[in-house]
Structure 1
């Protein structure tokens, strides 16, 4: 389903965090969410999955206002991979990924072959199937991130939100994860810091600054030298890559 964010605002006390944001993500497309630290990216993602309550505005999944959906219905629709998540419980990698099936099962529903298949496929997609029996606590930060993404894939969501999913990953796994996300055919919003990765893998981009959208559109229209200078405070040279055909940013040192 598509995701529509219509004039959404959110505040913590008297501090406005998200201010009148309007964005649309077409079904099956990937929107990259860019902006400096503290620009409101994480807060916007949490508003979409209703972990925060909007002050004003409407968020829709397809035609459905998220405010009208039950918690269970929303959990079956949307998956969220946060920056940091941990547990002291002794869980294996497979145990963590199995949690992704929870929204699809009743309290007394038996675990079935369909659930096993979803977990196995998710582990395979993030190259963690051989680690299925390993304890969560023994994993590196990057491995944990890949397991969280597998959990979200096992959930079989219609919409997927990811908050800086390439954090802690080496270059190979950054490319692998973003390539996977771009080919899922699921409506995605992914917050990223790396502008070059955003240009390579996202269908469209939106740039936040102080809680407001200051640029949105196709990567080649958004990633301009002027925008990078105004929003990120750095000089950059932007050109079309001869390798992959997308925009490539080179930063200029003064």
Structure 2
């Protein structure tokens, strides 16, 4: 399914956080959402899954205005992976992933074969099936993030939103997580800080600055030395990587 935003605004505490955003994520593609801290990335993701309500403008999921949908209807098609979450409860990996089936079940419904299949498929996708019985608190940071993604996949979503999924992970797990996300057969919007990782794994990039989209398109068109200087405040040299063929940024120090 496609994700589309048309002139979306959202303010908080008298400040305009999302300012007239128009954006399209084509079905089955991975869109990287970039921008400095405070540019509105996380707020935009929360608006798309209606954790926050749009104050003006329209957001559609698969052509349907989210204002006409219930939160339960949205949850059946759209999964949201927030930044690293923690819990003190002694819970297993399997129990965490089972939570992804909540939008598809009533409080009194029995566990069905389709629920079990969705959970098993999700664990397999993220390479955590052999650790399903492990307790959450025994996992590494990268493993916990894989479980978060598995929980989202168990929702069997058509759209997947991820807010800084590689935050606080070492480089191996950053690469593993983004390679996994880019292979998923769903429409993804992923907020990232690392421009080189975004260039490697995303089909298109949208750059936010002060609540607005200031650039959109393929990485090689969006990531220019001028944009990096104007939006991120750093000087850089950009070349095409001989390894993966995407653009690669080398930052300059003063």
TM-score by length of 2: 0.96
Q: Is the 8 A contact 1:39 1:209 kept in 2?
A: yes
After superposition, give the CA deviation of every residue in 1:177-228 in whole Å (9 maximum; x if it has no partner): 2112112121110001111111111110000011111111111110001100
Residues in 2 aligned to 1:57 and 1:88: alpha-carbon distance in whole angstroms: 39
SS of alignment partner, residue 54 of structure 1: coil
Unaligned stretches of 5+ in structure 2?
Answer: none
Matched with 2:237 is: 237
Q: Is the 8 A contact 2:84 2:165 kept in 1?
A: no
Q: Does 1:74 align with 2:89?
A: no
Matched with 2:27 is: 27
The CA RMSD measured in Å over matched residues stands at 1.2
Residues in 1 aligned to 2:244 and 2:141: alpha-carbon distance in whole angstroms: 29
Matched with 1:83 is: 83
Matched with 2:96 is: 96
Matched with 1:153 is: 153
Matched with 2:48 is: 48
SS of alignment partner, residue 76 of structure 1: helix
Matched with 1:3 is: 3
Q: Does 1:170 align with 2:177?
A: no
Matched with 1:201 is: 201
Q: Is the 8 A contact 1:78 1:160 kept in 2?
A: yes
TM-score by length of 1: 0.96
After superposition, give the CA deviation of every residue in 1:11-46 in whole Å (9 maximum; x if it has no partner): 112111110011001111111000001110000000
After superposition, give the CA deviation of every residue in 1:131-174 in whole Å (9 maximum; x if it has no partner): 21122123233322111011011111010000011113222222
Matched with 2:17 is: 17
Cα distance, 1:66 vs structure 2: 0.4
Range 101-110 or range 231-240, more displaced:
101-110
SS of alignment partner, residue 99 of structure 1: helix
Q: Is the 8 A contact 2:78 2:158 kept in 1?
A: yes
SS of alignment partner, residue 237 of structure 2: strand
Matched with 1:180 is: 180
Residues in 1 aligned to 2:169 and 2:109: alpha-carbon distance in whole angstroms: 36
Residues in 1 aligned to 2:22 and 2:215: alpha-carbon distance in whole angstroms: 11
Q: Is the 8 A contact 2:79 2:161 kept in 1?
A: yes
How many residues end up aligned between the 2 structures?
254
